[in-house]
Chain A
């Protein structure tokens, strides 16, 4: 048995590592194609700024301002649906909340009687004292539009959390239905609460924004420019979030919730964050929209609006920031410009030919039919949308595949796999009387196990003997009925999976749970989630600290991916689902190692690999041990276990029937019985007969 390396190695990443990006063809090509992006965006922005002067038609500018508002909503919905994968069918509710928050606090709708309570608010300029006919007078809410933009965002975000919380345990379609329910409830409440909302007639006389004495009034141009500023800001926020620790965690949840949690993502917190941020976009947009219209009524926020927003992001590309903006603008402008013009042409044609049907056809009314057709068509033929979230990556050439010949054990100059100092004399992982039953089946029936640091423990046993349940119990995916799990003497029983990763145990899954629509690099980066700390605000600001953290995380991820030689490194920009089976297994191991675990649990790491690949991986697992990581490994290939395991544990019917060195296990009669299903006598007989 080689001497385990328990002290963190002193080697630091070589300078070459930092410039690692430059020689990876996929990254290099991408950088080339992105060089023209700023120019493209600059041109678009220039056009958008000049638009009111180019067009000059008040009606067109108004339509464009409305289109910008819907694009803002689509961006918010995209955070929830596109990034976090939570299909929200009641998103218009947050739009309503933002709209009424501003509408109610900046109109003559609520007029409570004046009292001294309001005096401080009057000083702050939030309310005015109205005394039309002497007497006590009433309160007039006159909160500034500019203050209400962030306030509405905050109010909507709170409702996002409130409406999001009940859906946390639900998935897919059911989550959609619950959000639909909330989406229905909000407009009904608005209709039935006339004191605040003026009921079905709607609010009227909402105050228009003023900037340095300039009143926006009912002009379209100032709203257009304000909308432009807001959308540029929201695009910026969306993009920054997407390419951050937070965005990666959302995508991970979207792709596979359980795997995300097992990689250290706190899914409760991140889902609520997605609901809150998504809702906040709608909240400020609601304020903008109501200020522009100076009215708000419940009909503006019903189910068809939520569906329209969904159509926008489906058309543009779910998860793609540029896509949803384009989708929203295309649909809005189609509705307000193109269809109107087309209707007029058709009417003219009808008058010319005398066909009554053509004279009466109103295409603007059929917009919902077009929405329906777009939804069905996109789902059937182009689910990724017009501008897909991911650009296609070309497959590697033969030369690129063979660029880095090193495939054997980990290079010595690799940085330490984790930064902890571990006492080599005490067991790192202790399991005491761990048990779990499902119905009447004792999947794990009281297992005791003690694992010394820097060892490889092979866990074998027939199918259904409880091996995977055992792993699920250790990693917190399943709660045990009884028993204790101690990591370095600290009780970690019953911790949530993401906390277990934080403590230093990472795992892979028997039936592969990669984030299929994320790249190899992003998959690995999710592993850094627990070792990094950037929050949503940090991600948007991207201060130097965040940049440093991000660079360090990338270097770390690339370094770990390098363990597998040229298997993964040339493919870092490829989507995980495009990898070969063996490479997917390797990526899962890499993803687990990136989280700096002291113990890794590998569930059948060599399944589906050919003999050469199996040997290669065995070698790599051994080097993990040599570099101070303790390995627990479920494995059916006994040759692998015999070769690399320091200790073998045999499970049968949820119980530990044997434990020892591979050699001891070979001659254990219990094990032979469990595996071969014969009585020991029969085996002995067979042995003597031969």
Chain B
């Protein structure tokens, strides 16, 4: 492989990772946009999502790479698994909001965020105790189809699928927020909750929908993680979650297109940094970036609402 091929390969990997981080970052950004809360539970909603998807695939009779599917059957199975996962994690997100965060709405300070840290620990340990500490071989109906491009670099079917699914979900979200009545209500609530309430918007409902959508996207990211890496484990939430959060901050927290862009940037930093610097320093680079952006450009690269408030 030439140097160019290596670079190209890492860009392909980076964009794939980035697409996953973007989906995850959207949940952080949407919730922050509406209720100004950094939701640590989101990390492990993503992790639970990857388990929901695993269980859904297992329920359909897939174990490991026992059945490889092609064409329409593959699309059908994946769509079914995706819908089941998104529904499951969406409901989980709504339950978290309804039972633990709503009672704390309007409480000053960091209490809601501390609650989400607790929730994150609870979800993590439920899976650890319930499913065990070993990493799980994923049920994966995807064929190992790959295409050679420009000499050495390969583009695999799963990468193409990942890009397409992520893009469709993000376009769907964009359409929902921009053009539907509920989406407009979300935008209004993000701008000014009091004013939104006064013009008759049911803010509680908006918050529930926001948690549902954000968590459903995290679930989708969980499915993608499993299919892409071919495993899942109770520990995947923390690292991916923090990177996705960095992506959300990078894009300007509360800003939906920013989260997508931030995700891709973080994905590229991870793959290219790992290639050209050292994998063991990747986290330091990403966390340093997080700190630098928060300190020097808290509105993110695109920017909107400043994340400082009194």
Question: Which chain B residues border A192 with CB–CB below 8 Å?
Answer: 280-281, 284
Could you give, for residues 81-116 of chain B, a 1 whenever the CB lies within 8 Å of some chain A CB and a 0 otherwise?
000000000000000000010011001011111110
Question: Which chain A residues border B281 with CB–CB below 8 Å?
Answer: 188, 192
User: How many residues in B have their beta carbons less than 8 Å from beta carbons of A?
Assistant: 44
Bound complex: CA A366 to CA B122 (Å): 10
Q: How far is the CB of B34 from chain A (nearest CB, A)?
A: 14
Report the tally of A-B residue pairs with Cβ distances under 8 A: 124
Identify which of B119, B242, B298, B309 contacts A184 (C-beta below 8 A). B242
**B110 and A373 contacting across the interface, CB-CB below 8 Å:** no
Would you call B68 an interface residue if the criterion is a C-beta within 8 Å of the partner chain's C-beta atoms? no
Q: Is the interface of B mostly helix, strand, loop or mixed?
A: helix
Given contacts A372-B121, A372-B125, A379-B104, contact A171 B308 (CB under 8 A): yes
Would you call A305 an interface residue if the criterion is a C-beta within 8 Å of the partner chain's C-beta atoms? no
**B280 and A375 contacting across the interface, CB-CB below 8 Å:** no
Would you call B46 an interface residue if the criterion is a C-beta within 8 Å of the partner chain's C-beta atoms? no
Interface size class of A (residues with CB under 8 A): 35 or more
Would you call A185 an interface residue if the criterion is a C-beta within 8 Å of the partner chain's C-beta atoms? yes
Q: Which residue of A lies closest to B108 (CB)?
A: A516
Question: Which chain B residues border A89 with CB–CB below 8 Å?
Answer: 117
Would you call A346 an interface residue if the criterion is a C-beta within 8 Å of the partner chain's C-beta atoms? no
Bound complex: CA A343 to CA B292 (Å): 46
Question: Which chain A residues border B37 with CB–CB below 8 Å?
Answer: 173
Question: Which chain B residues border A314 with CB–CB below 8 Å?
Answer: 114
Q: How far is the CB of B101 from chain A (nearest CB, A)?
A: 10
**B308 and A170 contacting across the interface, CB-CB below 8 Å:** yes
Question: Which chain B residues border A181 with CB–CB below 8 Å?
Answer: 287-288, 290-291
Question: Which chain B residues border A189 with CB–CB below 8 Å?
Answer: 284
Would you call A535 an interface residue if the criterion is a C-beta within 8 Å of the partner chain's C-beta atoms? no
Q: Which residue of A lies closest to B115 (CB)?
A: A379
Question: Which chain A residues border B52 with CB–CB below 8 Å?
Answer: none
Q: How far is the CB of A194 from chain B (nearest CB, A)?
A: 11
**B129 and A167 contacting across the interface, CB-CB below 8 Å:** no
Would you call B301 an interface residue if the criterion is a C-beta within 8 Å of the partner chain's C-beta atoms? no
Given contacts A177-B294, A181-B288, contact A372 B118 (CB under 8 A): yes
**B295 and A166 contacting across the interface, CB-CB below 8 Å:** yes
Q: Which residue of B lies closest to A302 (CB)?
A: B238
**B294 and A368 contacting across the interface, CB-CB below 8 Å:** no
Would you call A633 an interface residue if the criterion is a C-beta within 8 Å of the partner chain's C-beta atoms? no
Identify which of B111, B245, B308 contacts A383 (C-beta below 8 A). B111
Could you give, for residues 187-219 of chain A, a 1 whenever the CB lies within 8 Å of some chain B CB and a 0 otherwise?
011011000000000000000000000000000
Given contacts A170-B308, A184-B283, A185-B287, contact A177 B38 (CB under 8 A): yes
**A375 and B121 contacting across the interface, CB-CB below 8 Å:** yes
Would you call A369 an interface residue if the criterion is a C-beta within 8 Å of the partner chain's C-beta atoms? yes
Would you call B120 an interface residue if the criterion is a C-beta within 8 Å of the partner chain's C-beta atoms? yes
Q: How far is the CB of A306 from chain B (nearest CB, A)?
A: 10
**A167 and B288 contacting across the interface, CB-CB below 8 Å:** no
Identify which of A167, A173, A258, A369 contacts B295 (C-beta below 8 A). A167
Would you call A300 an interface residue if the criterion is a C-beta within 8 Å of the partner chain's C-beta atoms? no
**A178 and B117 contacting across the interface, CB-CB below 8 Å:** no
Bound complex: CA A181 to CA B38 (Å): 14
Which A370-425 residues have C-beta < 8 A from chain B?
371-376, 379-380, 383
Contact sample, A vs B, 5 pairs, CB 8 Å cutoff: A181-B287, A366-B125, A371-B121, A375-B118, A383-B107
9 additional contacts, CB 8 Å, given A180-B242, A185-B284? A170-B308, A174-B308, A178-B295, A181-B288, A182-B287, A188-B281, A372-B117, A375-B115, A379-B115
B residues adjacent to A (C-beta < 8 A): 36-38, 100, 103-104, 107, 109-115, 117-122, 124-126, 128-129, 238, 242, 245, 249, 280-281, 283-284, 287-288, 290-291, 294-295, 298, 307-310
